[in-house]
Structure 1
């Protein structure tokens, strides 16, 4: 197992003094195995901010957004679903980072997101079978013909090229000033599809038992590490379960955690669920507590790699308890930071106010996500807050914007 360094350096001690007013472990520094130090234990987990311009390029809205989150006091932000190519995007608002990308805009985003001693990572994405079919030709581990999901299968040659695609994007992220990368292996996207027996029906070295199904993920990790060197942080976002019948089980997820322990991974971000059409969204589920903290506690018996837990954290007490009870080393907040970007600062100064989560009356599938995504746009554009009553207008604006950018994407990339 990879030993987690203790906080004995002068930099770590400096952070501890900065946070001396807080007795909570939530505001103590965290050192990753590669040596990078987070000033506290609060992260903005990856979300599709949907602010790309349809050409895969960074926008001024994104720069303002990640600067605002950094100013709010968090330790880490992760930019969701940054693609290595334009061929398998999750949404037309995704960024594309490759040799054809304009460096300056990405560098500006990296600087903005590292304001206030925060770290900004890029999530290395590939939607695979879940790619937006209006701007791509979806492919996954296996050919599927299901209601709402039709895709082809990757050839063995195509699979073997994938680790290098992830690695090239990671190298550019490092060159352009980002603090690290997170490899997306959750929520039903490509690497998650390989891990899941529901998506992966292959009969070769990449299918069958969980040892074969995790092969591509481990190859991606190794290839990325070789490309970026030993001191650049690499995280993994991993499902605890697909929450689908026949999908990835918790015992299999624990086996994957144990296998990652033998790699140079610096952070494992525990989440769950998929965006499979018609599947229940973890973020929309009922309940007042964190969704995956209990699984993370079991995962801690399999690895010494720091664990980030994402999903369902709504109060300061929940976040503090997860850290102090050893369920998590880092707490991932998503919708809570959309409702209040200043939340980390408020919690650190002892402000016990927690965000008031909106209640929606019979929202359509995907409607709540659309509302939160448009609220992200309000933050980026320094506008006022949406109300629950704005849900129909938010959905309309969200869908109209995506439709416009799909046209742009197809013109730009010919997909």
Structure 2
């Protein structure tokens, strides 16, 4: 999840350290911090972390130490928002130039594209040196590597566009560069959309081909998700049914790869998680919103409790409103405060927006944008 708890200068905060320490205490095996940028140029939000040569490495070391309490792993999710980069603090660029309602971006040059695998690899190596348990390359949810896979975003006519083989080229080059940088034993995962859930976009059959291509790359985990933050597009969690969203797709993917699979999205009961594992469709279960409303859920399930988290229901929330509510609920956990109620939605949206406005100014001043 994107916790949005960075200090606005790309650095970890004490609240962020408390959050991952708290989740570790709740019994989970692995936390993944999204997103962590290698540079400040294409951040998803001003609360993202930036890990580069100018970072406060001691704060990152402390985050790694505290997030790995109780034998948990803490991985950094390596991100690049591309066309979805936060416009107040960046100049969005994607595979191709776009001028659509709510989304405008330039096109990356060939030289800029060819620079990316090494940049991801450098960030991964820094994460390894600072004591994090692994990294996850983010190729889902409409961010840059996902954009290259999608024919809606990728209109290129060179070696990185057109056929699926060309559209997955940057992803495979990035995985290879990261693996070379960290060696054979450091965990490297990848988050991949089963589908971006947009008409004419990246579809399940194409995702299966990408998964097959990843099978021989030395990747350690494929984290299956779906959907995109394309303006106006509903998220998977806002429009899917009551059960896991991508478990059936994972069953299809299982026939195409020997890499361990994690399925994220829609798991609300212990029975759902156990059934998916027992079916062989997945090896790990990813929890997001369930952990935001109950940080102790893994421990409860391990002890045999069948409790389902009480997820809030909202009446006609505005676009982005539910994300704002959950993000501010994450902040409540990080600060050791009580939970929000659905009636707090308007206040959470306002606080979320105000915090970003303040950090936009901090980010721009710090990085001299």
Q: Which runs of 5+ in 2 are unaligned?
A: none
Distance 1:356 1:399 in 2: 25
Distance 1:92 1:283 in 2: 23
Q: 1:37-186 counterparts in 2 under 5 A?
A: 47-186=1-140
State how many pairs are aligned. 369
Q: Is residue 330 from structure 1 mapped to residue 284 from structure 2 by the alignment?
A: yes
CA displacement 1:330-361 (0-9 Å, x = unmatched): 00000000000000110111111111111111
- Deviation, 1:286, is 4.1
Distance 1:219 1:302 in 2: 20
Match of 1:353 among 307, 329, 341: 307
- Deviation, 1:414, is 2.1
Alignment-derived partner of residue 226 in structure 2: 272
Q: Is residue 366 from structure 1 mapped to residue 348 from structure 2 by the alignment?
A: no
Distance 1:261 1:65 in 2: 33
Match of 2:185 among 231, 234, 241: 231
CA displacement 1:256-306 (0-9 Å, x = unmatched): 000000111000000000000000111212421000000000000000000
- Deviation, 1:122, is 0.2
CA displacement 1:94-139 (0-9 Å, x = unmatched): 0000111011100011011110111000000000000001110000
Alignment-derived partner of residue 318 in structure 1: 272
Distance 1:316 1:285 in 2: 22
Distance 1:404 1:284 in 2: 28
Query: RMSD of aligned C-alpha atoms?
Result: 0.6
SS in structure 1 of the partner of residue 106 of structure 2: strand
Q: Which runs of 5+ in 1 are unaligned?
A: 1-46
Distance 2:53 2:118 in 1: 13
Alignment-derived partner of residue 338 in structure 2: 384
Distance 1:387 1:107 in 2: 34
TM-score by length of 2: 0.99
Q: Is residue 305 from structure 1 mapped to residue 256 from structure 2 by the alignment?
A: no
Distance 1:295 1:138 in 2: 31
SS in structure 2 of the partner of residue 87 of structure 1: helix
SS in structure 1 of the partner of residue 8 of structure 2: coil
Distance 1:119 1:56 in 2: 22
Distance 1:175 1:286 in 2: 39
Distance 1:413 1:375 in 2: 28
Q: 1:219-258 counterparts in 2 under 5 A?
A: 219-258=173-212
SS in structure 1 of the partner of residue 195 of structure 2: coil
